[in-house]
């Protein structure tokens, strides 16, 4: 009883000499997956953008923290927003480095990161505007607001690049 024709593929063609065995990519990718950390992510543009965001947020926080405040509510809001953004960016950075997104597939990580950047960027922009308006030309407060604006621009770039990559990936996969 026959169950249908089977096709068996070999490396030898019927018309000529044997072809060299195909190079397996599994051995090279298994070597990179075997490590605990993703070394390729360190050199990526997204990684460098996250590091620049964290540095600018930290400098903005330290500048405001070490200055004489004129308006407690404005600068405490700025400090809370910068620290929350810093912690969340650090969380996503560690998640990418240790490949946590591959183990926890129940969460849509690109959507979570996009929403974080969207909400965090809006709050950071508001905090930076208020901090700049209430700075009264005190150098530390002006520097903190400036680094807040820089971090806002970096967050917009990161959000735009991740959205662009997601759209391109989805449209080409169809």
SS3 labels along the chain: CCCCCCCCCCCCCCCCCCCCCCCCCHHHHHHHHHCCCCHHHHCCHHHHHHHHHHHHHHHHHHHHHCCCCCCHHHHHHHHHHHHHHHHHHHHHHHHHHCCHHHHCCCCCHHHHHHHHHHHHHHHHHHHHHHHHHCCCCCHHHHHHHHHHHHHHHHHHHHHHHHHHHHHHHHHHCC
Q: What is the pLDDT of residues 14-56, one digit of tens each?
A: 444 555 544 444 444 444 455 778 888 888 999 999 999 999 9
**Extents of the domains making up the chain:** 49-172
Q: How do residues 73-97 score in pLDDT, each as one tens digit? A: 889 999 999 999 999 999 999 999 9
Q: Is the pTM of this model over 0.75?
A: no
């Amino acid at each position: 009883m026959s169950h249908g024709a089977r096709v068996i593929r070999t490396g030898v063609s019927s018309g000529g000499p044997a072809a060299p065995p195909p190079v397996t990519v599994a051995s090279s990718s298994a070597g990179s997956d075997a490590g605990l950390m993703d070394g390729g992510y360190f050199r990526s543009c997204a990684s460098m953008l996250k590091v620049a965001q964290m540095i600018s947020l930290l400098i903005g926080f330290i500048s405001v923290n070490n200055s004489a405040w004129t308006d407690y509510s404005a600068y405490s809001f700025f400090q809370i927003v910068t620290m929350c953004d810093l912690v969340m960016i650090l969380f996503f950075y560690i998640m990418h480095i240790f490949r946590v997104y591959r183990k926890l597939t129940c969460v849509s990580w690109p959507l979570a990161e996009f929403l974080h950047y969207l909400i965090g960027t809006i709050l950071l922009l508001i905090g930076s505007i208020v901090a700049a308006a209430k700075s009264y030309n005190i150098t530390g407060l002006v520097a903190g607001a400036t680094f807040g604006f820089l971090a806002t621009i970096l967050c917009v770039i990161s959000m735009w690049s991740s959205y662009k990559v997601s759209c391109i990936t989805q449209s080409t996969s169809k």
